[in-house]
């Protein structure tokens, strides 16, 4: 859709409002709602001014003017507002020069796509994220100087097998690590997931499936792959739909990587491929029918995995999932079909479907920055022909200690990931896709989170140490 198409849609659908949406550095979708009568050709061409000083990690108050440029191709009618509203995703530019604002995540994704084309390596990069989430009925938390606590609950949670309900306890629940794939009544979220997927279809999103995931209260919907910036837009819509449909059902959805202990955490496997001249660049005659370029791409991902963690696993909570010794993709190894390494090559008969899957990211990530960083690491691998080494076709979870010690891991904390990003970020600066100012601003935000986490006593510490 172009600008004329947006104006026609506003008229034909009697749109009352236009919701102008953008994404902040941490990955949260933000919005401003404009009366549709004010949206004309000039509005769409010139953009919408706003105060950037109110967004964490952006401009200071004395230099706060910024401009939102609407992308007409991203327009969709919001299904959750009472008044008919058209939502449009935006990129951000400097109002005086019209240049892309270097800390805008969506602008970074657009620059990454432009860099791929300019490199001559490929024309388009495709991304297929698999973002899991949890659904709860109740969530309560407190962080005070004298109290730190949280509690979540859900009727279908494994811990409620002996709860005394007024109407009786029906007893059908997935056990711990038992949610993959029993039918109802054990899986009681069929209808809510179907409504989530149907809502996405009405928004024009390409979806394919839904199912209960391994952990108690954990779920996943399937997004069909798309180009980098478009797919980051789609993942923002994915989260938006899931949060709001859950809310309408009286439930609460979270994309926290590890909201409960003792069960699987939430990941976001990211499938990636590059095409050139209408042909899949990753299909070839090497290991697992991959091309040299695909193997070098993997080499780049494995080499830069620790600095990538700052974007792919950007929360302190992320590293409660990425723990060695459990079924988490912490080992910097790759394999065909084997799911125990941090990079996998999914099996497929068609060369067109040949792709690489990074298994360590999680949905706390800002999708624009996550996808862009992964692409830049992979392209660095191709440019420098980085050898990923031999594939690891053994079950890495069951290796003897002496073999396991020889396989490097991803980061164990957000603090480590930020230190790694500070030491290893030149590959992100190629083509001015990321900038030093942007990376420094992002790190400042993340250091705030690290300090908040590290400076706060944890309830388990009272259990361990109060009587020492």
**Active-site residue set:** 51, 130, 132, 213, 220, 269, 339, 357, 359
Instruction: Give dist(CA 242, CA 133) in Å, integer.
Output: 9
Q: CA 77: distance to chain centroid?
A: 23
- Residue 169 assigned to a binding site: no
Q: According to the annotation, is 321 in a ligand binding site?
A: yes
Asked whether 363 and 269 are in contact (CB, 8 A), the reply is no
- Residue 269 labelled as part of a binding site: yes
**Structure-block tokens of residue 196:** 């989530």
Please name the residues in contact with 161: beta carbons below 8 A apart, sequence gap of 6 or more.
169, 171, 173
3-state helix, strand, coil in the chain (%, to 5): 40, 20, 40
| Residue 269 token pair | 């496997």
| Residue 357 marked ligand-binding | yes
Q: Is 234 annotated as a binding residue?
A: no
- The reply to whether 244 sits in an annotated binding site is no
Give the β-pairing of 124-136 and 226-227.
antiparallel
Residues 6+ apart with CB under 8 A from 78: 19, 85, 86, 87
Helices (H), 82-208: 105-119, 190-202
Judge whether 220 is annotated as a binding position: yes
Ligand-binding annotation for 213, yes or no, is: yes
Is 415 annotated in some ligand binding site? Answer: no
- State phi, psi for 286 to the nearest 5 degrees: -90, -160
Q: Which residues are annotated as a binding site?
A: 130, 132, 208, 213, 220, 264-265, 269, 321, 327, 339, 352, 357, 359
Q: Which residues are annotated as a binding site for ATP?
A: 208, 339, 352
Q: Which residues are annotated as a binding site for Mg(2+)?
A: 130, 132, 213, 220, 269, 357
Q: Which residues are annotated as a binding site for L-glutamate?
A: 264-265, 321, 327, 339, 359
């Amino acid at each position: 859709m172009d600008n004329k198409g947006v104006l026609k849609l506003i008229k034909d659908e009697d749109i009352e409002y236009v919701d102008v949406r953008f994404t902040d550095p941490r990955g949260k979708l933000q919005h401003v709602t404009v009366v549709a009568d004010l949206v004309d050709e000039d509005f769409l061409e010139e953009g919408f001014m706003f105060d950037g000083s109110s967004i964490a990690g952006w401009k200071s108050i004395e230099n706060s003017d910024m401009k939102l440029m609407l992308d007409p191709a991203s327009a969709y009618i919001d299904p959750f507002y009472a008044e008919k509203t058209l939502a449009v995703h935006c990129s951000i530019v400097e109002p005086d020069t019209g240049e892309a604002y270097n800390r805008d995540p969506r602008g970074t994704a657009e620059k990454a796509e432009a860099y791929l084309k300019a490199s001559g390596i490929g024309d388009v990069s495709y991304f297929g994220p698999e973002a899991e989430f949890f659904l709860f009925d109740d969530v309560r938390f407190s962080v005070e100087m004298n109290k730190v606590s949280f509690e979540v609950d859900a009727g279908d949670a494994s811990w409620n097998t002996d709860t005394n309900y007024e109407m009786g306890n029906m007893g059908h629940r997935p056990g711990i690590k038992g949610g993959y794939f029993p039918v109802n009544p054990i899986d009681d979220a069929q209808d809510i997931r179907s409504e989530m997927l149907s809502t996405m279809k009405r928004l024009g999103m390409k979806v394919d499936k839904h199912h209960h995931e391994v952990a108690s209260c954990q779920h996943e919907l399937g997004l069909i792959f798309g180009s980098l910036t478009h797919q980051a837009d789609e993942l923002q819509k994915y989260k938006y739909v899931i949060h709001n449909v859950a809310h309408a059902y009286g439930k609460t959805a979270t994309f926290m990587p590890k909201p409960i202990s003792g069960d699987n955490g939430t990941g976001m496997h990211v499938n990636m491929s590059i095409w050139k001249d209408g042909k899949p660049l990753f299909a070839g005659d090497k290991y697992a029918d991959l091309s040299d370029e695909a193997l070098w791409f993997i080499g780049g991902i494995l080499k830069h995995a620790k600095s990538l963690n700052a974007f792919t696993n950007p929360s302190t909570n992320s590293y409660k999932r990425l723990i060695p010794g459990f079924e988490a993709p912490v080992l910097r190894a790759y394999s065909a079909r084997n799911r125990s390494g941090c990079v996998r090559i999914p099996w497929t008969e068609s060369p067109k479907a040949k792709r690489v899957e990074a298994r360590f990211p999680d949905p706390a990530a800002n999708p624009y920055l996550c996808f862009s960083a992964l692409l830049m690491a992979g392209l660095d691998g191709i440019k420098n022909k980085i050898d990923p080494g031999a594939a690891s076709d053994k079950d890495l979870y069951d290796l003897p200690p002496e073999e396991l010690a020889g396989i490097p891991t991803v980061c164990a904390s957000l603090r480590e990931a930020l230190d790694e990003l500070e030491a290893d970020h030149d590959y992100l600066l190629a083509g001015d896709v990321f900038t030093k100012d942007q990376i420094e601003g992002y790190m400042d935000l993340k250091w705030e989170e690290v300090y908040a986490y590290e400076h706060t006593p944890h309830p388990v510490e009272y259990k361990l140490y109060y009587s020492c």
